[in-house]
Structure 1
Amino acid sequence: MSGRGARHKAYRRGRSAERLAALALMLKGYRIVGRRYRTKLGEIDLIARRGNMIAIVEVKARARLEQAMDSVNVLTQRRIEAAAEQWLARQPDHATLSLRFDLVAILPWRWPVHIPAVFTL
């Protein structure tokens, strides 16, 4: 497969993983308030809200849960934090919101695994 074809396949797989993660979160009572929020500093896959709690969600499609967790390294965390700070600053009720960084792992033939507070600021 050419580089272009591989990138397109990875993009489709990522979009599909994000849709499945959003569905799993909605079934747990979250409202999805943002998808693929992009800034110059980074991107947030999903932004979910339940009450005054905002979950900044990184979605990883991997073969094993350990691989998904390991892929959220320090550099990834900093990128997500920077984007989250920009998003939060634009919210009119930002002073009343609490922020949490979650992971949803999309694993083969399993329901998505939601890991709340996978890292902290």
Structure 2
Amino acid sequence: MTGLAAAPKRLAAFRRGLSAETKAAWLLRLQGWRILAHRYAEGPGEVDLIARRGRTIAFVEVKARGDFDRGVEALTPRQQARIRRGAEAFLARRPAYAGYVVTFDLVLVAPGRLPRRLPNAFGW
């Protein structure tokens, strides 16, 4: 596939991702979380959403798939490492969050379903 032919598919995937992240952010807000960052990227690390509730910071990966099971399967070890690097960079630049509990969560978005948050989907 050429670059021009792939562009509409990439744009559609980008828009689906933004929509899923917006839904995930609303879910977190409804659960009492404050969104600190969207699409945080620092060096080789990247995190879809960073949220805080009390003394807990959640680094959240959002997966939009046809069903929740495929969303869980889509979180690869390589992506987990990318999210960990993003978390390390975020925390290193914000010493005020030293001592906070850190969690790595997954929010799943599927058509016709409410988003689902899986707290502590993976660890350091």
Using the size of structure 1 for normalisation, the TM-score is 0.96
Aligned pair 1:2/2:1, yes or no?
no
CA offsets, 1:21-65, max 9 Å, x none? 000100000000000001221210000100110000000001111
Q: CA RMSD in A?
A: 1.2
Aligned pair 1:40/2:46, yes or no?
no
- Please tell me the residue identity of whatever aligns with 1:76: Q
- 1:42 and 1:5 map into 2 onto residues whose CA distance is 26
- Please tell me the residue identity of whatever aligns with 1:97: Y
Q: 4+ runs of 1 displaced by more than 2 Å?
A: none
- 2:66 and 2:116 map into 1 onto residues whose CA distance is 12
Stretches of structure 2 that go unaligned for 5 or more consecutive residues are none
Stretches of structure 1 that go unaligned for 5 or more consecutive residues are none
Using the size of structure 2 for normalisation, the TM-score is 0.93
CA offsets, 1:56-114, max 9 Å, x none? 00000011111111111111111110111000111131322111000000011011010
